Chains A and B, each alone.
Chain A
């Protein structure tokens, strides 16, 4: 079993739709969590950190449920430019200073 698991998709949604991704992690010692975005043949880039209290950045909302070991990402009013692979990430360090453990990634395509 992988330490971080996500549905690989692909998700194909129309522009303007709301889309939600989920992932689960198995290491209960994980302390910090992130969503990274990766465009085709590019490097991963940090989209946002994830906190238990939930956090929002524009159209993006991330949520962490430590009891269920579950992380979510919600994208509202999706844009064509949101098409990418979204990587769920856990880290054993409270400050994420140690290794990042990535999920397989969820591929999203926004259709016009």
Chain B
């Protein structure tokens, strides 16, 4: 158990519905990342935060996707008007970024989204 938790673990929704996932990072970690993984592929970067600031967003993150980390602790990822192509495992990772190092990203168990 790496200490990163994600909820829910599974989500089944109908096309067009909105869904929201939550990630709780390891408590002292200042960086939080979201990735998406489809079957047979490696995870793909979506976005990351340092504390509450969203520092980078992938082109994969269409305008239907929004992520927040309002208090620099937990984060939410919302997908609006879901499409079947959004079906994937959504992984959250956290790390402690320090000037001298300490950068390992620890992953949570993921939220598996199925869009019908």
Do A and B come from the same complex?
yes
Interface of chain A, helix or strand or loop or mixed? loop
Contact A102-B97, Cβ < 8 Å, known A45-B107, A96-B105, A97-B103: no
Interface set, chain A 3-52, CB cutoff 8 A to B:
4, 8, 32, 42-46
Contact call B41/A105, Cβ cutoff below 8 A? yes
Point out the residues of chain A lying under 8 angstroms from B48, CB to CB.
98-99
The size of the chain B interface, using a CB distance under 8 A, is 27
Is A100 on the interface with B (CB-CB < 8 A)?
Answer: yes
Contact call B42/A97, Cβ cutoff below 8 A? no
- A-side interface residues toward B, CB under 8 Å? 4, 8, 32, 42-46, 87, 89, 93, 95-105
A-B contact pairs, 15 of them (CB 8 A): A43-B107, A43-B109, A44-B91, A44-B107, A87-B42, A89-B42, A95-B97, A96-B104, A96-B105, A97-B31, A99-B45, A99-B48, A101-B45, A104-B42, A105-B42
- B-side interface residues toward A, CB under 8 Å? 2, 31, 33, 35, 40-45, 48, 56, 58, 91, 93, 95, 97, 101-110
